[in-house]
Structure 1
Amino acid sequence: MAKITASGALEGLRVLDLSRVRAGPTCVRMLADFGADVIRIEPPPGVDPNEGMFAGNRLGGDFQNLNRNKRALTLNLKKPEGLEVFKRLVKDADIVVENWRPDVKARLGVDYASLKAINPRIILASISGFGQDGPYAKRPGFDQIVQGMGGLMAVTGFPETGPIRAGIAVADSSTGLYAAIGILVALRERERSGEGQWVHASLLHSQVAMMDFQVARYLNEGDEPLRAGNDHPTSSPMGMFRAADGELNLGASGQGTWVRLCNTIGRPEWVDEPDWANEKLRVKNRARLNAALDEVFATNTVGHWVDTLNAAGVPCGPVYTVPQMVEDEQIRHLGVVEETHTSDGKPIRVITQPVTLSRTPAAVATAAPYWGEQTDEILREAGYDDAGIARMRAEGVI
C-alpha cells in the first residue's frame, strides 16, 4: 500500500511511534490524522509480556480509535539487528515518540543524545508518568494514580463521597495533547535552527496543569479547592437541577446571565433578593437558591427548559448517556463520529479530530493496522531486500 496521507498539513513528515497504551498513541494520532507518515513499531507477538495492555484486541474500538492512519512494523529492539534497523529508520525520520521509563532509553541506546548523533534534525518526544528525572522518575505511572497525586480526585465527587476518579483518562489524554503541541513547536523552531530537540511531557505535570484555576486560586488566594459535587466551586447558580423528567445542567454564571435567568423563569423579584445580589452571595447561599430553582424547574421538562433558557442566552443542556450523545443533532452535524474499514472490510467507527483547519483538515483515511501489517513494505523502503527480510523474520528480529 502507499503511504497513508490523511491530510496535507503534515505531509512529508515521518514519525516513528514506539509508544503504548494511551498518552503516546493520543499524541501520535493527532500527527497521523493531519497527514504525517506514522510507523507504529512494536515487538513481534510474544516478546513483550505486557502486550495485552496495548495490542490485545486490535479490532476493538479503543485500539482502532487510537491507532488509525498508521502503518505497522514489528521490530524486536532487544536484538542487536532490531536496534540497527531502528537506527536506520531514524536517519530519515523527523520525530520519534516513546513512553518508556527514562532508564530504558539509555539502556537501549535510543536516548536523545544517541538519536541526535544519527540524525541532528530528529525530535524525540518522551512521555512519562512523573518526568525524565527527579525522585519519582523511575516509578511506573498510570492515569488513575496521577489523578490522585495531581489533585483531581480530591476535587471530584460530593463532600460525603471521598475522592473519586474522573470517568475518562484525563491525565493520559491531556499529556498526549501537550506532547503533540510540544512536537509542533519543536518542528517550527527547527525551521529556523535546523536542529531537532528533546520534548518531554509527564502525566503528573499535565494533570496539575489541567487543574488550572483550582490550583491557581489556592496558590494566590489560599483558597483550598474542595469537593462540591455538581456545583461550580466559584459560580452560582451553576450545576445540576431536577426538571420534571430528568436532570438539567445549568450554567448561569455572571450577573447578566443571572438577571436573564430570573426573568426567563418568571422570578424577576429574585434579582433584588439580598442573599442573591451578587455571585459571591449566591455561592454563599447556594443551598437555598438551588432548592428554589429545583421547585421552578420541576414544573416542566428538560427539553422545555433547554429550549427556553438557551433562547434567552442562559447556557444549559441535558445530561446525555453515551448512546444519547452520539445521536445528538449537533454531534452528527460536526462529524464527531466517522466510519472507516479495516483491511478485511470490517466497519469501524472512530472519533474524529476536534480541531478543524479550513484548507488542510484532518481525516480518517484508514483503520488501525494489523500487527506488523506493513513490515515488509517499510523495510523495503529502508533498503532491505526480500532475502534479508525473510532472514530477520526467521531470526525473530521482526
Structure 2
Amino acid sequence: MTAGSKSAAHGPLHGMRVLDLSRILAGPTCTQALGDLGATVLKIENPGTGGDDTRQWGPHYVADVAGAQTDLSAYFMSTNRNKHSIAVDITTAEGQAHIRRLAADAHILIENFKPGGLDKYGLGYAEMSAENPSLVYGSISGFGQTGPNRDKPGYDLMAQGYGGLMSITGEPEGEPMKVGVGIADVMCGMYATIGLLAALRHAEATGQGQHVEVALVDAQIAWMINEGVNYLTSGALPQRRGNRHPNIVPYGVYATADGHVIIAVGNDGQFKRFTDAIGLPALANDPRFATNPGRLEHRDALADLLEPTVAQIPTQTLISALETCKVPVGPVQTLDQVFASDQVAAREMQIDMTTPAGEVCHLIGNPLKLSQTPVTYRHAPPRFGADTTRLEADNPWDTPSE
C-alpha cells in the first residue's frame, strides 16, 4: 500500500484497496472503519437479491428528491458509507472473473459466507492467495472455520446467547436479555479490523498475505472480560444483576424524584464523598460499607439505605452535587437528548452526507480522532449497484475522489 502525499488529506489508509464481499453488520462494520480511515472499499452486492440484506431492513428509509423510498435503509446506512457498490453475480463464470480481477490488485478481501462457501466458486482463500500472494483474506462466520459448530448459521442474537452474554444481562428475576443493538456483530467487526490491519502490516513487510478469520461467538466470548474471568477464577456462575456491577458497589441506575441517574462509585474515597453529599455520612463509617469488599457482601442492605434517600432528590440537583464533589454521575438520556447535546456537536458524532442524487443521509460519526490523519467522510452510503460500470474500466480501483 502506498499512501503518498495525499495520506494526510484522505486518511492514514489512503491507497489501501479493500474488496468487500460481506453483508449485514459484522463485515460492513469492519469495512466502513477502513473506509473512514481512507481505504478505497468496493462493496460487492448480489444482483439477484437486490444487494445487501439490510437494504430491506426498514421501517426507516431515506427518500429521494421526489419523495419516493430508496434502498437506503437506516440500518444499511449505519455501516456502509465510504464505499462503492458494484453488482456482481458470483455464481456465474463472468462474475467470478470480475472478483478475481478485483482481488488481483486488492490489499484486503473480506467475506462472511458460510465456511467454505466461496470455495465452490473458486473464490476461497487458497485460490485467491495463489493469484495474489500478498492478499490479506478475511473471513467472518458464526462459529469459525473449525470446530463442531462450523456449519451452523451465525446471527447476533444467537452469538449473544451461545457466548454467555444473555445469561448475565437483564433483571435478576427476569428472562435472559440481549443487548439493545447487535453488539456481538459490531465487536466481531472491530476484532476483524484489528486482525486485518495487523496482517496487512506483515504483508507489507514480507510480501506474504494470510487468512484472518474471526467468529461471532469467539468475539462474544472474548469480550465477556471481567465476568468471564470471574467465573474462570471462582467457578461460580455470574448472575443477572440488572444495572448493578458484579465487582463494585454502589454502581448502577437509581430512581430520583423526577427520573433516573447513574451513580458509579469506584473507590472508598468516592463512597465517603457520595454519602456526605446525600446526607448519609454515617454509612462511610459503618464497618459493613466502609470498603468495597464489605459493600459487595452487603449490597442489598446498602441499597435499602441509599435508594429511599436518592429517590427524594431531583435528578439535576443530584448530578450537580455529585459532580461538585467529583463522584462519577450521569443522566440516562434518550436518543433525542443524545443527538441534541453540545457534547455530540463538539465531538462531531452526528454527521450529514449527501448522495450524488441529492439525498441527505443523517449518520453517526466515527469516534476515532487522529491528530495528523483524521477520518474523512468522502462518499455517502451508495445506492445498490451505483458503481457497477467501474468493472468496464481498465483500472476498476481508480478512484480519483479518494
What TM-score comes out, normalization by structure 1 length? Answer: 0.91
Q: Which whole-Å CA distance do the structure 2 matches of 1:328 and 1:55 have between them?
A: 29
> Do residues 218 (structure 1) and 231 (structure 2) align?
yes
Partner of 1:95: 108
Partner of 1:250: 263
> Do residues 358 (structure 1) and 371 (structure 2) align?
yes
Q: Which whole-Å CA distance do the structure 1 matches of 2:349 and 2:388 have between them?
A: 31
1:357-376 deviations in Å (ceiling 9; x for gaps): 11111122221111111111
CA 1:263–1:138 in 2, change beyond 3 Å: closer, same or farther? same
Q: Which has the higher helix share?
A: 1
Within 5 A, what are the aligned runs for 1:319-334? 319-334=332-347
Within 5 A, what are the aligned runs for 1:218-297? 218-297=231-310
1:353-393 deviations in Å (ceiling 9; x for gaps): 11211111112222111111111134314379xxxxxxxxx
Partner of 1:70: 83
Within 5 A, what are the aligned runs for 1:1-398? 7-44=10-47, 47-48=48-49, 51=51, 53-56=53-56, 58-382=71-395
1:160-204 deviations in Å (ceiling 9; x for gaps): 102111111111000000000101111111222111111111100
Q: Which whole-Å CA distance do the structure 1 matches of 2:390 and 2:177 have between them?
A: 47
1:33-81 deviations in Å (ceiling 9; x for gaps): 011000001121xx23x85723326322221121111111111110001
Q: Which whole-Å CA distance do the structure 1 matches of 2:255 and 2:126 have between them?
A: 59
Contact 1:241 1:293 in 2 (8 A): no
Q: Which whole-Å CA distance do the structure 1 matches of 2:240 and 2:338 have between them?
A: 26
Give the secondary-structure state (helix, strand or coil) at the position aligned to 2:79.
helix
Q: Which moved more, 1:297-306 or 1:147-156?
A: 297-306
TM superposition shift of 1:279: 1.0
| Letter of the structure 2 residue corresponding to residue 197 of structure 1 | Q
| Letter of the structure 2 residue corresponding to residue 43 of structure 1 | N
| Letter of the structure 2 residue corresponding to residue 304 of structure 1 | T
CA 1:190–1:383 in 2, change beyond 3 Å: closer, same or farther? closer
Q: Which whole-Å CA distance do the structure 2 matches of 1:381 and 1:137 have between them?
A: 39
Q: Which whole-Å CA distance do the structure 2 matches of 1:73 and 1:254 have between them?
A: 54
TM superposition shift of 1:334: 0.9
1:133-181 deviations in Å (ceiling 9; x for gaps): 1111111100001100000100001121021111111110000000001
1:77-136 deviations in Å (ceiling 9; x for gaps): 100011011101111111101000012121111111111111111000100000011111
| Letter of the structure 2 residue corresponding to residue 13 of structure 1 | M
TM superposition shift of 1:275: 1.5
Q: Which whole-Å CA distance do the structure 1 matches of 2:51 and 2:371 have between them?
A: 39
Q: Which whole-Å CA distance do the structure 2 matches of 1:192 and 1:53 have between them?
A: 37
TM superposition shift of 1:352: 1.2
Q: Which whole-Å CA distance do the structure 2 matches of 1:273 and 1:199 have between them?
A: 54
Give the secondary-structure state (helix, strand or coil) at the position aligned to 1:104.
coil
Partner of 2:3: none
1:323-344 deviations in Å (ceiling 9; x for gaps): 1221122122111110111221
Q: Which moved more, 1:209-218 or 1:220-229?
A: 220-229
Contact 2:54 2:75 in 1 (8 A): no
Q: Which whole-Å CA distance do the structure 2 matches of 1:264 and 1:154 have between them?
A: 35
TM superposition shift of 1:321: 1.3
Give the secondary-structure state (helix, strand or coil) at the position aligned to 1:102.
coil
Q: Which consecutive unaligned segments of at least 5 residues does structure 1 have?
A: 385-398
Q: Which whole-Å CA distance do the structure 1 matches of 2:246 and 2:41 have between them?
A: 42
Q: Which whole-Å CA distance do the structure 2 matches of 1:37 and 1:188 have between them?
A: 17
Q: Which whole-Å CA distance do the structure 2 matches of 1:383 and 1:71 have between them?
A: 11
Q: Which whole-Å CA distance do the structure 2 matches of 1:139 and 1:274 have between them?
A: 52
* Identical aligned residues as a percent: 36
CA 1:311–1:189 in 2, change beyond 3 Å: closer, same or farther? farther
Q: Give the CA RMSD over aligned residues.
A: 1.8
Q: Which moved more, 1:259-268 or 1:9-18?
A: 259-268
Contact 2:351 2:363 in 1 (8 A): yes
Q: Which moved more, 1:362-371 or 1:291-300?
A: 291-300
Give the secondary-structure state (helix, strand or coil) at the position aligned to 2:44.
strand
| Letter of the structure 2 residue corresponding to residue 351 of structure 1 | I
Contact 2:114 2:151 in 1 (8 A): yes
Q: Which whole-Å CA distance do the structure 1 matches of 2:45 and 2:244 have between them?
A: 45
1:250-280 deviations in Å (ceiling 9; x for gaps): 1012212112212222322211112212112
Q: Which whole-Å CA distance do the structure 1 matches of 2:246 and 2:316 have between them?
A: 26
| Letter of the structure 1 residue corresponding to residue 100 of structure 2 | K
